[in-house]
Amino acid sequence: MKTLHLGIIIGGGIVTAIIVSMLIMSDTTSNKMTPHGLPVSPGIALHFNGSDLDHSPFNQFEARQGQNITLVVDVTSEPENIPLTLYTEPHIGFTNTNGLDLKLSSTRVNTPGTVLLYISVGKDATPNKYKMGVWASTMTNGNMTLRTDFNIVVEQQNSSRLPVTIEKLFVAPVGDEFNPINGTLKAGQTYSITCEITRLEAINGNYTQYALLIQIQNSTGVSQGVSWQFGMLPVGQKAEGGIYWTPKLPGNYTISSFVWRELSGTSQSDPLYLNVIVQ
């Protein structure tokens, strides 16, 4: 019997059973001068994969040579509804030609909001730990700027195969969650999104601990909701995860699915994407 673990997303809101501690990565005193000579906006915070970056091991993410990984960046502020411009800062002296590249799914966000950070590691990247950052800048009450740092640990690639494969990603009606819809969706109607993964045989032991992520974005890259699921997957077995989603507005949307090892950002499978049209 298949078991479907579901979160709920309605109009961009999400209810999950996962509680992750977070740390506000900004100072509560306005106009405090940083080493960069820029005032820090109080209450602006960036969190990667829902983690508290001040406590190991959540302050770093792993990737193998020749591998692409994706991090979820949650952007919040107090007060809310602050427009921010985001940009990345790679490791000093470490450029695209050296094998590491960062790209945001969107550089504009209104708080609270979510964007994806795509990290590409070249096959010739030198195994090492690299400190990087994402900047958030706003013109509200002056030019307020905050940088949140994280580490990427590049590991040597010993095998081109990954232990998990994403077999299916589809949208279905509520009440008939395993009957995929092939046509357009209707705004205001609730749908089920399901992702099915399989543990490949004879790769990295008998069991794989995984974190399954499903992300929904509109045509401009703005997140409409994110769902996490955690578990252990034995060799040759399958698992399903999913969310409910109610699109509010017509348009083109992209549903992305990723499988990681815990929240470390280390990919356990290649990602799978699904484009849908809402009318």
Alpha carbon of residue 99 to chain centroid = 21
- Per-residue pLDDT reduced to its tens digit, 210-245: 889 999 999 888 889 888 888 888 888 889 999 999
Residues 62-83: what's their mean pLDDT? 84
DSSP 96: G
Kindly state the tokens that stand for 113.
Answer: 């909001």
User: How many CA within 13 A on the CB side of residue 218?
Assistant: 17
The listed range with the strongest mean pLDDT (54-63, 118-127, 171-180, 265-274) is: 171-180
pLDDT tops 90 at residue 95 = no
**Contact of 113 with 55, CB cutoff 8 Å:** no
Element (H, E) at 116: strand 113-121
Mean pLDDT rounded to a whole number for the chain: 75
Could you tell me which residue, 259 or 53, shows the higher pLDDT? Answer: 259
| Structure confidence at residue 92 (pLDDT) | 52
Q: Percent of the chain at pLDDT above 90?
A: 18
Domains identified in the chain and CATH numbers: 5-12+159-278 (2.60.40.10), 20-155 (2.60.40.10)
- 150 CB neighbour count, 10 Å cutoff: 23
| Structure confidence at residue 129 (pLDDT) | 81
Q: What is the pTM of this model?
A: 0.55
